[in-house]
């Protein structure tokens, strides 16, 4: 079984179109979007409509939550004054571009999707969130302490936890021993389709491979493939430069930062 998962498009239509072309050619059994459709570029309506048109099961990101409610707060953790100033231009532009129907759609997006697979005598829980199961805008970075990550997944009853928000992809396998049995939990950050920050400017998404005869007791039951795809970065960067958005965002796209 092949499940495609993507997130953090951030109004980057050229990246989304290239993603669809790539993912369609791989024929996944299911496809899920983990939010942050809008912000930081000029195509929030177009991105929303492309996803909606395809009936893709989608959850809300923090940016979608803010824009859906015409808020000036996207729940982003900007550190410097420059980041804050840039961020406020982005949210105000996005609010002014967003049309009523597309904004209403953002408000309908749920916080989580939980998918329970039936595997032989066992079950496998796949939990999809934007930031973390506890908070839409909590950052789960790769260096999160193992005990903390395991506790979050245990409390959420997630065998596989998929999330985005940091724009930095990773897959961590966490071992949990219960009595004499060892089970495996998988924490997967999808990276970002339209605003990668891991110094690779190509778009990023995940293809999750779950073996039909699998179980949480086998490490190899779940395989995670990070797929990078080329897209017209210049088109997306020029769109930023020709808008009122800060030119920093264009440079970030070119550098993958």
In the chain, the DSSP E strands lie at 2-6, 30-33, 57-58, 113-119, 122-128, 160-163, 170-178, 181-189, 203-210, 222-229
The verdict on 170 binding another protein (CB under 8 A) reads no
The verdict on 118 binding another protein (CB under 8 A) reads no
Which strands, in side-by-side order, build the sheet including 113-119? 113-119, 122-128, 160-163, 181-189, 170-178
The verdict on 108 binding another protein (CB under 8 A) reads yes
Provide, rounded to whole angstroms, the least separation between the CB of residue 47 and another protein: 17
Count of other CB atoms within 10 angstroms of residue 122: 14
Window of 89-97, 100-108, 163-171, 216-224 that interacts with another protein by CB under 8 A: 100-108
Provide, rounded to whole angstroms, the least separation between the CB of residue 52 and another protein: 9
Window of 60-68, 105-113, 141-149, 164-172 that interacts with another protein by CB under 8 A: 105-113
The verdict on 54 binding another protein (CB under 8 A) reads no
Nearest to 114 by CA among 171, 158, 58: 158
CA angle at 38 for the pair 36 and 44, rounded to the nearest 5°: 145
CB closer to another protein, 84 vs 107: 107
Specify the length of the chain in residues. Answer: 257
Residue from 19, 40, 105, 170 in contact with another protein (CB under 8 A): 105
CB closer to another protein, 34 vs 236: 34
CB closer to another protein, 58 vs 192: 58
Which strands, in side-by-side order, build the sheet including 57-58? 57-58, 30-33, 2-6, 203-210, 222-229
* Touching another protein, residues 191-220 (CB under 8 A): none
Binding site for another protein (CB under 8 A): 55, 57, 105, 107-108
């Amino acid at each position: 079984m092949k499940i495609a998962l993507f997130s953090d498009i951030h109004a980057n239509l050229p990246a989304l179109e290239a993603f669809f072309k790539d993912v369609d050619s791989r024929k996944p059994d299911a496809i899920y979007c983990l939010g942050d459709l809008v912000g930081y570029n000029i195509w929030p309506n177009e991105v929303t409509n492309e996803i909606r048109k395809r009936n893709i099961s989608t959850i809300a990101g923090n940016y979608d939550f803010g824009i859906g409610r015409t808020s000036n707060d996207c729940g982003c953790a900007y550190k410097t004054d420059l980041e804050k100033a840039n961020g406020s231009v982005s949210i105000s532009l996005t609010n002014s571009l967003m049309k009523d129907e597309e904004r209403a759609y953002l408000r309908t997006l749920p916080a989580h999707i939980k998918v329970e697979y039936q595997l032989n005598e066992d079950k496998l829980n796949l939990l999809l969130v934007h930031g973390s199961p506890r908070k839409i805008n909590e950052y789960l970075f790769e260096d999160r302490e193992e005990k903390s990550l395991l506790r979050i997944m245990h409390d959420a009853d997630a065998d596989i936890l998929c999330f985005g928000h940091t724009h930095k992809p990773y897959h961590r396998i966490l071992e949990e021993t219960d009595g004499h049995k060892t089970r495996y939990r998988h924490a997967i950050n999808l990276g970002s389709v339209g605003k990668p920050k891991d110094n690779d400017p190509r778009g990023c998404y995940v293809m999750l491979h779950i073996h039909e005869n699998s179980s949480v007791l086998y490490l190899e039951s779940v395989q995670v493939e990070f797929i990078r795809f080329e897209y017209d970065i210049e088109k997306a960067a020029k769109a930023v430069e020709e808008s009122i958005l800060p030119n920093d965002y264009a440079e970030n796209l070119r550098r993958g930062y």
